[in-house]
Amino acid sequence: MNDMTRVERAVDSKDIKINAKKVQVYYGDTHAIKDVDVAIEDKTVTAFIGPSGCGKSTFLRCLNRMNDTIDICRVEGDILLDGEDIYDKRVDPVQLRAKVGMVFQKPNPFPKSIYDNVAYGPRIHGLAKNKAELDEIVEKSLRRGAIWDEVKDRLDTPGTGLSGGQQQRLCIARAVATEPEVLLMDEPCSALDPIATAQVEELIDELRSRYSVVIVTHSMQQAARVSQKTAFFHLGNLVEFGETGQIFTNPVDPRTESYITGRIG
Amino acid sequence: MPILWLFLIVLAIAAVGYVSGRARALQSAGGDSRNLHSLPTYYGANVALKAVVPAFGLLIIWLLAQPLYVSSQVSEMIPETSVKEGSSLSLVMAEVRRTADGLNNAVAAGVLSEDQARNARADVTDVTQRLKDAGQVVTSEITQPVLRAAQSYRAMNSTGYAIMTGAVILVALIGAAISWFQTHSDYRARNVVEQGIRFLLLAAASIAILTTIGIVLSLVFNTWEFFKLYPASDFFFGTTWAPSFSGRGGASDLGIIPLLWGTFYISLVALLVAVPIGLFAAIYLSEYASSRVRSVAKPLLEVLAGIPTIVYGLFALLTVGPLLLDVFGDNGLGWMKAGTAVMTAGIVMGIMLIPFVSSLSDDIINAVPQAMRDGSYGLGATQSETIRQVVLPAALPGIVGAILLAASRAIGETMIVVLGAGAAARLSLNPFEAMTTVTAKIVSQLTGDADFASPEALVAFALGMTLFILTLGLNVFALYIVRKYREQYE
């Protein structure tokens, strides 16, 4: 957190992409998320930090309605994407997820070739008119995923044969191939070694120029390195939300300070 | 009864050995079990195991070997002349055994005294009469050599069992004694007992394997006999199946092709029914059904697997056959002549296989990691796109394996074919004609008065062997596919 980046952060004032108001999430009888208000800005990396089980992943999965696949999960409150309620009955979760992409904690390439992994999204959404266009999308996405040079000669080999870090970058390439507006990342580096982590972090910083990125992480150093805004969750509550520099240097809430200094967690 | 007694005596020796071995170990440690190498129970178990295992091993071997030995000894006593024309030594030996059993039963019933039963000069007619009075042997007259043979058969058996009883008890006592003297606080009883248990488990596993080998060998020898009587090329490439039971030998056509064709055709129809329905049921159950529906529907579907195949056969004969006849018979489309047909058996067999396919596929689809589905949903895929393009390709090797296993069940199925498909061996493409399969013909060749020296009966073993190799190949292939692709994910 040197002064230069803090200055840069101060200048980056952007439109609100996702606005969540009074969000409540219940798993059966458990009240997992309580009254969370977050405004996620466009072309910004927002980090969610907090101890295990604090609800940060659950909240992330609300943003593209991945929680719909869990029977007992219930979401209340408003989550607006570009001013439209994503939990409105008229919104098709399938279309929403095309706009709000997701990268998961464990790399999960499909048991298909590298090419087919990346082409999966464009194919199901009909983004390419012909093979040449699809080839172009695949190459562009793999380049954005910073993995093109490593795999360009073996696009027809299985994606599961790559190393862990490569797999995760492939998953990121797969997610950007559908041209999402927001990219959600659920602890994308927790299964990776430091070198692969550095590569993915660099990639996240590049992605910021086109997308709004929301990242859940257990590593506070990572949050400090890659994000401009940070939200601290504790026991289902949003404790503090603000500029990353301010959260890490001058937290308002005593719980945030305790967590950052390692006293709770 | 004496074997039960012998059994109990050996167990009693073992029990006494257990207690005394445990006591001796404790005594050698000065009454403090902490000075022992192993827990006191291990010392007891060591003595008990060494008493029981060798004794029972000897008992089993003796029980298997003695009848063989006695039979071979007794059959030497029977003169060539007493084997009648058209009969064989094995038939005479069967009579000897029946007579010996009759004598035993007569003695037990008190009709004959032990002396009379053993008396070598006993009058044949008198003994026969007494046996008949006692309700034994009514089939044929007992001849002098048969009676003599039966008497010595009895005598040898009873001496054999007496020696066996003594030997088994002796072995148990020796085993117990040796291990009792071995027992000492430094003796590594735990290691020995662990070894012994490992050996017993190994023995249990090898019995299953040895039985399989035994079954294969019995098939192989009889198949060999068959091919000595009937040319193999005619069997494998013959296109007619027409066994004759009246004119023995030479007059029969025993070509396997029509039977294999029937087997293949009926199995194909069965799989065409079972695979789509079973697979779709599995997809519904694992991907769409709520857990409540699943918990009710899955056991209900598996009830189908518990129905005996003969009941399916009745269902084919009484319900499906007439139903098909109404539609495709002379009153309908006119393709079908009778209720028994390839379609009837195939459809019912397909119904039988549904739970087989669905249950295995359901397990395999469930084994596809949730991360795969999440990844696909996260890219904006619908549920059916996810299943079609991610879940099913990931589960495909397992599903292919399930289908191949179902196919080998279909090939081996008998009762549904017997009742549903008719008995005509025929090479035809019309699925509404009666056909038959290899298994159904094995049954019909061996039921009734089968003469095991004729090719008409021995062909059953060649058929069984062919079927065994086919299904074995299919199973091995299925396992190979499942293994080869299993590590694609995770």
B293 contact A CB<8A:
no
Name the residue in chain A with its Cα closest to that of B374. Answer: A66
Contacts for A8 with CB less than 8 Å, ≥ 6 apart: none
* pLDDT for position A133: 93
Half-sphere exposure of B237 (CA within 13 A, CB side): 4
A interface test, pick of B291, B379, B389, B396 with most A CB neighbours within 10 Å = B379
Domain boundaries defined on chain B: 2-187, 242-486
In angstroms, the CA B261 to CA B421 distance is 13
Half-sphere exposure of A147 (CA within 13 A, CB side): 27
What is the percentage of chain B residues whose pLDDT exceeds 90?
A: 26
Please report residues of B whose CB lies closer than 8 A to that of A190: none
Q: Which fold has domain B242-486?
A: MetI-like fold (1.10.3720)
Q: Are A235 and A244 in contact (CB under 8 A)?
A: no
Residue B284 predicted with pLDDT over 90: yes
User: What pLDDT does B2 receive?
Assistant: 73
Other C-beta atoms closer than 10 Å to the C-beta of A130 total 8
Instruction: Flag if B379 and A121 touch (Cβ within 8 Å).
Output: yes
- Closest CB to B375: pick one of A69, A96, A104: A104
Residue B122: pLDDT over 80: no
A104 and B385 within 8 Å at the Cβ level: the answer is no
Chain A's closest residue to B378, CA to CA, is A102
The chain-wide mean pLDDT, for chain B, equals 84
Write the pLDDT tens digit of every residue in A231-259: 999 888 999 999 999 999 989 999 898 88
Nearest to B371 among A106, A120, A158 (CB): A106
Q: Say whether residue B374 is in contact with chain A using an 8 A CB cutoff.
A: yes
pLDDT tens track, chain A, 265 positions: 444 444 454 444 568 889 998 999 998 888 888 888 999 998 999 999 988 888 888 899 999 888 887 878 888 888 998 888 998 888 888 888 988 999 998 889 998 899 999 999 999 988 888 999 999 999 999 988 888 989 999 999 988 888 888 898 899 999 989 889 899 999 888 877 888 888 889 888 888 888 899 999 988 889 999 999 999 998 889 999 999 999 999 899 998 988 888 876 5
CB within 8 Å of B369: residues ≥ 6 apart: A108, B489, B490
Whether the full predicted model's pTM is greater than 0.90, yes or no, is no
- Cβ of B379 within 8 Å of Cβ of A71? The answer is no
For residue B348, give every residue at least 6 positions away whose Cβ sits within 8 Å of its Cβ, in sequence order, or none.
B312, B313, B315, B316, B320, B416, B420
> Would you list the domain boundaries of chain A?
3-260
CB–CB of B372 and A104 under 8 A? no
Mutate to test the interface with B, among A104, A124, A185 (most CBs of B within 10 A): A124
CATH code, A3-260: 3.40.50.300
Do the chains contact at A69 and B377, CB–CB below 8 Å? yes
Find the chain A residues whose C-beta atoms sit closer than 8 A to any C-beta of B. Answer: 64, 66, 69, 71, 94-99, 101-104, 106, 108-112, 120-121, 124-125, 158, 160, 171, 174-175, 178
pLDDT value, residue B271: 94
Residues 6+ apart with CB under 8 A from B412: B439, B467, B471
Is the ipTM here above 0.90?
no
Give me the residue from A69, A97, A112 closest to B379, CB to CB: A97
Q: Write the pLDDT tens digit of every residue in A211-238.
A: 899 999 988 889 999 999 999 998 889 9
For CA atoms B23, B27, B28, B30, give the dihedral sign: positive
**DSSP assignment, residue A158?**
B
DSSP structure class, residue B390: I
Q: Does position B218 have pLDDT exceeding 90, yes or no? A: no
Residues B47, B183 contacting (CB under 8 angstroms):
yes
